[in-house]
Amino acid sequence: MANRTPPRNAASDVSALTEKLGVFIDPELLDVALTHRSYAYEHGGITHNERLEFLGDSVLGLAVTITLFRENPDLSEGELAKRRAAVVSTVALAEVARQIGLGPFIRLGRGEVLTGGNDKSSILADTVEAIIGATYLAAGQQAATALVLRLLRPLLEDPERFGAAMDPKTSLQEALAGTGAPAPEYTILASGPDHQRVFDATVRAGDVVTGTGSGTSKKTAEMAAALDAWTQLTGRD
């Protein structure tokens, strides 16, 4: 991949992120992984992370599939597929991104910055996949698989979180019912042009909990908000 990213500087230092990832990725390649198309278009059409995202999606899927298959010999094909879908979902990957503090490192165009793009679930999840793709290119499949497992191991080892990641709205409602709290209420705000619409959701359950999330569809945004609220309510990190 030809590199056309601007030179690195102190403001773009990602050593703290590299330390959290636990793997060395060539700085120029990591820059690409962290570059959203909105930033690329504003800087002369430099290379952005969508090709790496495409690669990382495949590496992620294979790593999770093999791990689930090997570690769950008694699960049916249907249950394995359900768990895989939960682990690689936008909601789950965005949660992982927030846990490692990825948002501030993503390079975004001005419009995305103004609309809170550094915390949008879709952008966070896509960037995680791009980083996985960059790891594959920089260090090989074994290192990329190890990165996937480091990032997703808490989810893989928490059966309840499978359900929350797969259907966070139901999980939230069930958790609230156990506390006697009122039913959750969702509000949605849309922003951006029609061809690049972004939805921001807020879910409230009285004074008990408030969760927020975003996505490229109303459903995704509500799921992200529900998972945020469920995580707060259950005390899971």
Look at residue 4 and tell me if it is in a domain.
no
For residue 40, report the phi and psi dihedrals to the nearest 5 degrees. -60, -45
Q: Is 126 annotated as a binding residue?
A: yes
Residue 77, annotated as binding a ligand:
no
State the pLDDT at residue 235: 77
Residue with tokens 């959203």: 36
Q: Is residue 1 part of a domain?
A: no
The whole-number pLDDT of residue 99 equals: 86
The enclosing domain of 18 has a CATH number of 1.10.1520.10
The pLDDT assigned to 123 comes to 93
Give the pLDDT of residue 7: 36
**Residues 124/98, Cβ–Cβ less than 8 Å:** yes
Q: What are phi and psi of 192, to 5 degrees?
A: 90, 165
The closest alpha carbon to 208, from 173, 236, 237, belongs to 173
Residues 123 and 44 in one domain: yes
Q: Is 129 annotated as a binding residue?
A: yes
| pLDDT score for 28 | 92
Active-site residues: which are they?
57, 129
Task: Please check whether residues 33 and 95 belong to one and the same domain.
Answer: yes
The pLDDT averaged over each successive group of 10 residues in the chain (237 residues) is 38 76 93 95 94 97 96 92 87 88 94 86 94 97 96 81 75 87 92 80 91 86 89 77
The SS3 assignment for 121 reads helix
Asked whether residue 2 is assigned to any structural domain, the reply reads no
